[in-house]
Structure formats: C-alpha cells, structure tokens
Amino acid sequence: MNQRRDHDYNEEARTYDATRGGDLRAIAAAEALHALLPAGVPVLDIGGGTGIVADFLVKLGHPTTVIDSSPEMIRMCESRGTVPTVLSDATAMPYENGSIDNAIMIWLLHIVDDPAPFITEVARVLKSGGRFITTVDKLMSNNPDHDRARTDAPELISRLCREVGFAEGPRSSFVGHGQRNDPLYQLAVFDRL
C-alpha cells in the first residue's frame, strides 16, 4: 500500500503481533467482526498483515483472504497455513468489479495519508449488498491527546463511504485486550447499496 505513512512493515513483520496485543487483541477483534458479518460468507481482510485476525475469523466460520502490500507480512500470514493471501496494493486490488462479498480494514486507515483511494477501491470490488467494516479513530483509542491528523476520523470515513454508495450500518466496538490500557477500538459498518 504505497500510501502508508513512513513505516516499514517488512522490517516489523516478525514482531508485529507480539508488540500489538497478540492473540488477545486479535480474538477480541475477530469476535466483534463475527457479530457484524453474515455467517459463512467470504471476507477480504484488506491490509490484513500477519493474518492474525483473519485466522480467528476462519476459526469462527468466516472464509477469509488476506491482502497486503508487505511481502514479509504476507509470509507471516502464509506461515499460519489457514488463510489464503494476495500480495497487492489496497488501492489497486486484483479483483473484478463487484466480486467481493465482504471486506474489512482493521487498523489500516489511520496509517495512510489519504483514505479516499482505499474507500473507493473497496466500493469498486464489493458486491451490491456486501458489507464493509473498518476501525475508526484508532489513535484516539490509544492516546486521546495525540496530535497527528486523523485519517480514520469517523466523520471523514462516513462521508467518503456515503460518496461512493455505502449506507452506514450499526457501530460497534471492542476492547484491545493484551495491550497497555486495553484501548476501546471503534468499528464503523457500511453496506454497499
């Protein structure tokens, strides 16, 4: 994903899960997503990194594929042996228009310079009636006093999603167990019209 803020996820891939709450945080995310996704319908985890959340989604009955632009993150995901992977930029995914049932972006939009191309691409690949779920306000969850621009601000993501034909669904949240201060992560839900 060539629009990520300056960070090397290839370098960080081997320690990423351990430094981000590990299984506890991933299980909490997967359980919250499970409650919002139709049972048994395939999910595309965009920017899914090591596949830790996708792995737990699979265990909950959601066939999940991870797409990520970091070769090392993809390698870590493949080492799990449970989740198919695609190495690709999230703003130019190798899928036909309207070919994806459901899509998630967990902890992605806060690290990009401009979320609009990511939202536009999700709208392109998602089927009519499909569901898109993303975390919003991630930095606020961890540090309400941060001073970085919020590229995942709920009002911004909602506006961008409405502009590309999404209807806003129910909001949800989950606790980032396994992390310092157990932050409360917000989930925004959108349905493709």
Given this model, what pLDDT does residue 177 score? 86
- pTM beyond cutoff 0.85: yes
Stretch 131-136: mean pLDDT, rounded? Answer: 97
Contact 119, 188 (CB under 8 A): no
Closest CA to 32 of 94, 100, 106, 89: 106
Given this model, what pLDDT does residue 68 score? 96
The pLDDT confidence band at residue 20, using thresholds 50, 70 and 90, is: confident
Superfamily (CATH) of domain 9-192: Vaccinia Virus protein VP39 (3.40.50.150)
146-184: pLDDT as tens digits: 555 689 999 999 999 999 999 999 999 999 988 878 899
Place of tokens 């506006």: 159
| Boundaries of every domain in the chain | 9-192
